[in-house]
Structure 1
Amino acid sequence: MMDAMGNHRAPSTRLVGRDDELYQLLGLAGVTAPEARDVVLLGGDAGIGKTRLLRELSASARTAGHRVMAGHCLDLGDSALPYQPFAEAFSSLSDDERDVLAERFPALGPLLPWPSAAPGPGVERAELFASVVAALDSLSADRPVLLVIEDAHWADASTRHLIRYVLAQGFTGAVHVVVSYRADDLHRRHPLREALAEWVRLPRVRRLELEPLADADVVDLARVRAEHELPAEALRAVVQRAGGNAFFVEELLDAGLDDHRSSLPETLSDLLLVRLDRLDEPARRLVRAASVTDGREGFAALAAAAGLSDDELDAALVTAVDHKVLRRSGSDDYVFRHALLGEALRDDLLPGERRRIHAAFLAALDDDAPPATVARHALAAGQRETAFTATVRAAEAAGLVAGYDEAAQHYERAIELVDAAPPGTDEIDLVIDAANALVTSGQLMRALGLLRDHLSGLATDVHRDCHGRLLVAIGNTCYFANLDAEAEQASVQAAEVVPDEPTVLRGEVAALRARVLANRRRDREAAQWGERALQIGETVEAQSVIFDAKATVTRLTARSGDDPGQTMTAFRELVDASRASGHVLGELRGLNQMAFVHFNAGELDAAAAAFDEGMRRAAQTGWSWGPYGFDGRFFGALIAYMRGRWHEALQLCDVRDGAPPEFEAYLTAVSLLVPAGRGDTAQIERTLPQRALWRHDQASAIHGTSALIELAGVAGDLAAARRHHDDLVDLHVRSWDDTDFAARIRLAALLIGQYATAAPGLDRAAQHDLVQQLPGLVDGVERAVAATQPLGPEGQAWHRRALAEAARLTWLSSDGVTDAGELAGLWRGARDGFVGLDDPYETARCSARLAAVLLTSGDETEGAELVAEAREVAARLGARPLLAELDRLSPRAPRAARADVDLTPREREVLQQVATGLSNGEIGARLFISTKTVSVHVSNILAKLGAAGRTEAAAIARRRGLLDD
């Protein structure tokens, strides 16, 4: 009923003030430029003329032989039906065309009206999305297709995902897409605002914003729309009041407010409602009833809700159309000429009147009406039992098409109505279903709060299975949220509450215990619980328990290192079996664990492929923010960073389509590695609002802290770098009860590396303080190495790096005693480790530091080669701190005589004292000059010798005979 474009009627008046925009649209939509394959995002304020422009475009497209399909997003709040605009667009096809599509693309069934597609058991999101694209392509085989989606600002999350999928496709046929939205509705946190930012970065997507009409165009429009010639004074009044908004122009004229002396209503609602004063009572009843529709009730239901006889209804329709409140749409439907008018009417209804209208609609609805529509009318009518049943059905229907955001909303609404539930309703099942939908849509903490709230409210005398089911759900949610201690506590309590009998619930308890224990590295206990879960699962034929237990047992096998090939085969079999049975969680978990086996083995290409497969499957099944689905994106970005594809890493982290806040924070953490490598210290402050969320996720906390240590070092704040390191160690103790975690090796290496880089510019006391911290940091590294066995290739590389950085710090400090040959060996080992990982950035950093040792020791040929190699990588990545480090290592030609170095007599005196290890203050006192003057001389000496620090300068001076014996 709410179709604003479904009719094939051409615009009755000429288009005013939009010739340029129409010309552009005609080209982009392939009407005047058949080779075009662009997608258009058409934005503008409410009433600015988007729909009028799209009607003109549609009329021109039909004249040119294009097939025009249109659908609308509706302002339905929690009762939104996923993919409504696409269902509406396909409903415009003929019965024969829909029947052909239903036969060729069965997964398209939920979007095709009965009887073209019979109700089925539900489809996966991947199949549905792919079928929509394939159907549009097939329709374009005989003539071009123009798909118009209007009012995307009202789109539900599932519809936005499908729009994004369609926009990203490269159609083989001539399929053109235009999506309109209200720009003035996009407040700062509106989900479409972030979605648009992502969509415009897709290939071929063009954004077109409609600006207010110019005053001359407003005058022209007013003259076209007016029923009589308007005097100049009236035209000025319209121009002044309309503000370039075409809708306001029409409303002012239709309401008779073209007289500048008339009083303009204070609000738009008042302005819209003024025109209703000219309607008779039957017409008012009709339009007030129409204001609460969602477009899915049908014309017959509207007639019944208005409570008019046939004669009264006909007369009311004539009146409403004549007064330009309603307009004809199709053969048997009427719609508001402007959606804003319907909104104003709905808001104007009195509570009792609104309730009576909703009750009338409810009574008139067909048996096959969408459950969300039934629920909305029932709730507004005060019929809570009917509303409960319909809301649960709406949640189930949304879940069948992977609309988990909407499913969660419906389930939560059903919980609010549970007091009106039919006898025998299991409230625990309802709560767990709601929590599962919340978890799958990425709202883990909300799900956990819901479960804990209901557990605390359970009476002590209820059946113990009620407690057990909630405890299992809490344990799973905590596990997915990386709350290991809470997950273990819930699993222990569940094991105590649920009897040790072959039941599905006991199998779920055993599978949960196995998973939690495996996470805590208590492998022997985990294996025992895993075998018990498998035994119970096979006894009671519970596939979900079997998949869960097999994944844990296979993970334990992979960790043991026995027969890696067999382990990977087992994971692939688990993934394939889960996918075949429709068990999404099992499939994603299998891919996730397979990816981590490759990752921990240093097989980054294979890991990236598995993470990417998991990310794609998560997107296809609606699990992008659910358990294991998000890991594909997070670790895919991390691997892209490690492989030197920093632009790709940033792209993967830039997700703006309604990402839950915690996941946005996690992606910010890993994306921070890139600005850390580039020395962009401004990013330190940008992350402040999100850091609190990192504590919920170990990987985010680790990588975010790694970046902060680097950025603090670049900013010259070594104390802050140490605080970041210590804060993360403390967090691991408090939140995860783990002091000797593997990532401590990397964090210490980065921190010591920042110390070593800063050391040459510090005085002797400051250098000594840094060296004094080494034993504690290295001890933490060695304890982490001992606790993480076997240590994978990445861990081994960072272990070598930590030892090399510690030796570098000692070498560059005033009291350094490290042998250059030994130091070069340490850096060769570290470099080889990162070469094996194919990590270009860390390889380049190791090359630079190895080159510094070699150049100081006289091996300038290899040193120069390493500098050139590292510089190429640093330049490509934009790694400014590394480039600065390399600038201090410019290869030097050998110099055999002291005359080759142009040092002043005073500089030679200062150099002599530097070589003895004196600080600037001590040198000044000995030579009777100020400390500042000594500092200037030292800087000049370092520049002339091409040395990175005082110790290196002394070494160069000794080798070239610049020091007195």
Structure 2
Amino acid sequence: MAVRPRLLERERVHDRLDRHRQQAAQGQGSTVLLRGEAGAGKTAVIAEFLAKQPGDTKVLQGWCDPLSTPRPLGPLIDMLTGVAPEHAVDLRAGVDAGDVEAVHAAVTAVLASGPTWVCVVEDVHWADGATLDLLRYLAGRIESLPVLLVVSYRDDEVGDRHPLAVLLNELAAADHVAVEPLSEAAVAELSAGSGVHPAELHRLTGGNPFYVTEVLAAGPAALRDGPLPPSVYDAVWGRLARLSMAGRQTAYAAAIFGPRIDVAVLRAVCPAAVDGLPACLETGVLVADTATVHFRHELARRATYEQIPAFERRSLHRRVLDALAEYSDPNMLNLLAFHADQARDSEAVIRYGPDAAARASALAAYAEAAELFALTLRHADAVPDHRRVEWVEQHALNSNLAGHGEAAAGSFRQAADMRRALGDRLREGDNLRWLSYWLWAMGRTTEALEVGRESVRLLEDLGPSRELAWALVNLTELAAVGYDPQCPDYSARAVRLGEQLGDRAVAVRARCHGTLSTVTRTGTGWEVLESVWREAMGDDLGPEHAGIIGVVLCWNAAHHHRLDDADRYIRTSSAFCREHDLRVFETLTTATASLTALHRGDWVNAASAAEDVLTKPALSPLHRYLPLVTLALTRARRDDARVSDLLDEAVAISEPHDVYRLGLVWAARAEAAWLAGDDATARAEALGGLAVCTEHTDPWRVGQLQRWVRLAGGEHGIAPSTDVITPYRHELQGDYAAAAAEWTRLGCPTTRRWPNSAVTPTRSRPRCRRSPTWAHLQRPAAPSSGSPSSAAAPTGATRPPSPTPAG
């Protein structure tokens, strides 16, 4: 017998939704994030909620697709049928043109025009990047709109590195509502009269409503041969077996197409659907909406898809491809490319794939664009190289914008080789420049420098060009972070060439890192560096340049303990990055904020900022090393043993000679060892870092390492050759009063209170107590005269008593 599913134990969820809808009716919008495991019943809850909406509430509903190349803004396209024609025209024009700002403005105009809206986007774990950006845009403005925005997703499919995880972290003000599994009592009520034992059913399904209803729909026969199968696939297959041949063919065709299929398209692909569709609807294999049919759950579609023999699967993809090709709809391009790929029709992939990828890129769905270019390239062996290399470069550039470093580097390398074979030296050099950039970001500094120099040598032979100018900028940046004394020369050359070509972005970027080299060598030039940043933010150079320069300024101010300046830079840079959707750079400023909080002794906020970054998905090592260090030190200073894994990951982000990134890591490893009472390891870590320093290395990084050598009872080794005076140098020279005064001026109370008496090897090291409480860690520093004999241990920086005098 067919069992009609009933919604049980969902009253709390409906109450929350009702309350938010009432607030929306009063002009105060909100966002509800409806989460649950696959099959928890989120779609059923939404359907029941929408069914009881009053007549003056307008409903818009859209869905995300579980395709390897999802539709850019697919949910928004689904919603167009519910929008007034005059607004639908603007929306469709914006989508077709790939004009993200126009789309966002049109959506806002629609939602501001009605009395009350309930806007539902389902299955956002399958969303494309453009849809996630739209949701982020709406959520930031929702309170001023008469809108309830309901977003559903599978929380069991959203791990730390899932694209949706970033958005979820950002929507702190949203109401997070969980759809929980059913209790045994609810399962018993649902299964009454079905012939299925409720306790066994609950035990085997865990109360998952989808599993429960699927097994109940299949009837007692599903249990006839023994225990219930552990997967929903068995239940779905059992139901398919009871369908007629026409019904199974219809289900197969629907499974091939995707989660939703237009009835007219289904009948075009599968003539048997005339008889088979009613059978599928009657048995609940498929469910009908106004003009589409779909499986009750994606797992059911997958199970059906896997039942289709391979030869028939390919034939069905071909039929779907032919049917969709009849529609002149650019929103179908990604589907056409997908089905062409599955049908192994390389000619069709080449016909649709590049346009689909370009459309996704125009809508800022960069990850999807990269996937579509990759799909195209898998079928492009017969395409001439002069055409194929363009797709390789586009794959590289979109991978770059999506933050996929390995993929970007691989394609830039391939593109450079192809341009060389084609005799296009200019484009070869530009691809090498991009490759060098990503090699450095991934910590492969030696190769990055080699490739960067090769790019400049190649392009110099071709005369002045924009490509050469940017290659010189890249070399300037590599020289600045490598403490190469040639950095000012590279910078001057890039500035001259940029001015000669009229490319101000080149000049601004080159001046940034040229000035940074001066800052790290002499301690002067901060005002110039800040003015370059302000110029980049104020001019129409492209926001990404101001984003990069802002990160450089924030990072180096924090490393140099210019904390008031660093905090000011972080606030301004973060706001700028949010305004211009530069989330990659905004995350880097948050990473820097964790370090400034650590320097101030604010370990609670330091750890919080660090964990905020480290829990974001798909971040590069460049994003992670500062928060890794910060979190490790907040743990080490409160006697938390969970330190080594963090610092092991941090030290592995780059090559051993990369003092710019690893100097802080070596110092942190030395401190963690010292706090654990392991002086030998502390000295070894600090000396290992000093061994790769030169007379050109930033004195702040050198001084920090020298301090830890001395604190661990060793000789500090080389001294900076520059005349830059840092608090570290005061300490090493025995002028603790001057060091303490400088640390206080810089706003570093915890750093001021390190046991400066221990810097002198002949003095006994103070014995510090361990403290397990956070409150103790943040007690204000006691006054100190600055004399060696009265210097106090840092708050919370505790270590076991030393059995012997230091040194």
TM, length-normalised to structure 1: 0.70
Letter of the 1:704 counterpart: V
1:119 aligns with 2:90: no
Q: Is the 8 A contact 1:402 1:622 kept in 2?
A: no
1:833 aligns with 2:742: yes
Q: Given the superposition, is the C-alpha separation of residues 239 and 614 from structure 1 closer, same or farther in structure 2, using an over 3 Å criterion? A: closer
Match of 2:66 in 1: 75
Alignment match of 1:93 (pick from 60, 79, 83): 83
Q: Secondary structure at the match of 1:327?
A: strand
Q: Given the superposition, is the C-alpha separation of residues 91 and 238 from structure 1 closer, same or farther in structure 2, using an over 3 Å criterion? A: same
Q: Secondary structure at the match of 2:643?
A: helix
1:336 aligns with 2:326: no
Alignment match of 1:293 (pick from 246, 257, 266): 257
Structure showing greater Rg? 1
Match of 1:8 in 2: none
Alignment of 1:128-527 (within 5 A): 131=105, 134=108, 138=112, 142-143=115-116, 145-156=117-128, 159-160=131-132, 163=135, 171-185=143-157, 191=162, 195=166, 198=169, 202-214=172-184, 216-223=185-192, 230=194, 243-257=206-220, 261=224, 267-294=231-258, 298-306=262-270, 308=271, 313-330=273-290, 332-365=291-324, 366-370=327-331, 371-421=333-383, 423=384, 425-452=386-413, 455=416, 462-465=423-426, 467-481=428-442, 483-498=444-459, 499-519=461-481, 520-527=484-491
Alignment match of 1:672 (pick from 631, 637, 644): 631
Alignment of 1:724-743 (within 5 A): 724-730=685-691, 742-743=700-701
Match of 1:943 in 2: none
Return the alpha-carbon distance in structure 2 between the equivalents of residues 674 and 563 of structure 1: 30
Q: Given the superposition, is the C-alpha separation of residues 486 and 196 from structure 1 closer, same or farther in structure 2, using an over 3 Å criterion? A: closer
Return the alpha-carbon distance in structure 2 between the equivalents of residues 64 and 50 of structure 1: 23
Letter of the 1:391 counterpart: G
Return the alpha-carbon distance in structure 1 between the equivalents of residues 422 and 32 of structure 2: 61
Match of 1:683 in 2: 642
Q: Secondary structure at the match of 2:256?
A: coil
Match of 2:798 in 1: none
Cα displacement string for residues 86-145 of structure 1 (whole angstroms, at most 9, x for unaligned residues): 55356533324445xx4xxxxxxxxx3x35x46335437xx877x598458625x622x4
Q: Is the 8 A contact 1:168 1:203 kept in 2?
A: no
Q: Is the 8 A contact 1:82 1:403 kept in 2?
A: yes
Superposed displacement of residue 245, structure 1: 3.3
Q: Secondary structure at the match of 1:502?
A: coil
Return the alpha-carbon distance in structure 1 between the equivalents of residues 525 and 263 of structure 2: 67
Superposed displacement of residue 724, structure 1: 1.8
Superposed displacement of residue 387, structure 1: 1.4
Cα displacement string for residues 194-224 of structure 1 (whole angstroms, at most 9, x for unaligned residues): 5598368x2453342412332x32232234x
1:801 aligns with 2:772: no
Cα displacement string for residues 839-869 of structure 1 (whole angstroms, at most 9, x for unaligned residues): 23223x16x869999xx9xxxxxxxxxxxxx
Cα displacement string for residues 48-88 of structure 1 (whole angstroms, at most 9, x for unaligned residues): 3222222222233x1385443333232112x0234433553
Superposed displacement of residue 829, structure 1: 0.7
Q: Given the superposition, is the C-alpha separation of residues 156 and 405 from structure 1 closer, same or farther in structure 2, using an over 3 Å criterion? A: same
Most deviating of 62-71 and 365-374: 62-71
Q: Given the superposition, is the C-alpha separation of residues 249 and 742 from structure 1 closer, same or farther in structure 2, using an over 3 Å criterion? A: closer
Superposed displacement of residue 281, structure 1: 3.1
Cα displacement string for residues 344-375 of structure 1 (whole angstroms, at most 9, x for unaligned residues): 12222222222222222222222223332121
Q: Given the superposition, is the C-alpha separation of residues 457 and 71 from structure 1 closer, same or farther in structure 2, using an over 3 Å criterion? A: same
Q: Given the superposition, is the C-alpha separation of residues 385 and 552 from structure 1 closer, same or farther in structure 2, using an over 3 Å criterion? A: farther
Q: Given the superposition, is the C-alpha separation of residues 51 and 601 from structure 1 closer, same or farther in structure 2, using an over 3 Å criterion? A: closer
Match of 1:899 in 2: none
Return the alpha-carbon distance in structure 2 between the equivalents of residues 567 and 598 of structure 1: 11
Letter of the 2:237 counterpart: L
Superposed displacement of residue 592, structure 1: 3.4
Q: Is the 8 A contact 2:71 2:334 kept in 1?
A: yes
Match of 2:703 in 1: 745
Most deviating of 564-573 and 29-38: 29-38
Return the alpha-carbon distance in structure 1 between the equivalents of residues 692 and 139 of structure 2: 43
Name the count of aligned residue pairs: 771
Letter of the 2:400 counterpart: V
Letter of the 1:448 counterpart: A
Return the alpha-carbon distance in structure 2 between the equivalents of residues 668 and 255 of structure 1: 52
Letter of the 1:611 counterpart: I
Match of 1:46 in 2: 38
Q: Given the superposition, is the C-alpha separation of residues 584 and 243 from structure 1 closer, same or farther in structure 2, using an over 3 Å criterion? A: same
Q: Secondary structure at the match of 1:279?
A: coil
Alignment of 1:766-781 (within 5 A): 770=713, 773-774=714-715, 777=716, 779-780=717-718
Q: Secondary structure at the match of 1:418?
A: coil
Match of 1:84 in 2: 74
Q: Secondary structure at the match of 1:657?
A: coil
Letter of the 1:834 counterpart: W
Letter of the 1:270 counterpart: D
1:646 aligns with 2:636: no
Letter of the 2:340 counterpart: A
Superposed displacement of residue 830, structure 1: 0.9
Superposed displacement of residue 743, structure 1: 0.2
Return the alpha-carbon distance in structure 1 between the equivalents of residues 205 and 405 of structure 2: 47
Most deviating of 35-44 and 245-254: 35-44
Letter of the 1:69 counterpart: L
Letter of the 1:610 counterpart: Y
Superposed displacement of residue 638, structure 1: 1.9
TM, length-normalised to structure 2: 0.82
Q: Given the superposition, is the C-alpha separation of residues 551 and 661 from structure 1 closer, same or farther in structure 2, using an over 3 Å criterion? A: closer
Superposed displacement of residue 328, structure 1: 2.0
Letter of the 1:279 counterpart: L
Letter of the 1:49 counterpart: G
Q: Given the superposition, is the C-alpha separation of residues 721 and 37 from structure 1 closer, same or farther in structure 2, using an over 3 Å criterion? A: farther
Q: Given the superposition, is the C-alpha separation of residues 431 and 712 from structure 1 closer, same or farther in structure 2, using an over 3 Å criterion? A: same
Return the alpha-carbon distance in structure 1 between the equivalents of residues 518 and 623 of structure 2: 33
Return the alpha-carbon distance in structure 1 between the equivalents of residues 147 and 280 of structure 2: 37
Letter of the 1:212 counterpart: L
Letter of the 2:112 counterpart: S
Return the alpha-carbon distance in structure 2 between the equivalents of residues 238 and 258 of structure 1: 13
Q: Percent identity?
A: 22
Match of 1:534 in 2: 498
Return the alpha-carbon distance in structure 2 between the equivalents of residues 721 and 20 of structure 1: 55
Match of 2:766 in 1: none
Return the alpha-carbon distance in structure 2 between the equivalents of residues 547 and 413 of structure 1: 37
Letter of the 1:451 counterpart: F
Q: Given the superposition, is the C-alpha separation of residues 66 and 747 from structure 1 closer, same or farther in structure 2, using an over 3 Å criterion? A: farther
Return the alpha-carbon distance in structure 1 between the equivalents of residues 555 and 626 of structure 2: 18
Match of 2:680 in 1: 719
Cα displacement string for residues 234-253 of structure 1 (whole angstroms, at most 9, x for unaligned residues): 76776676553333343334
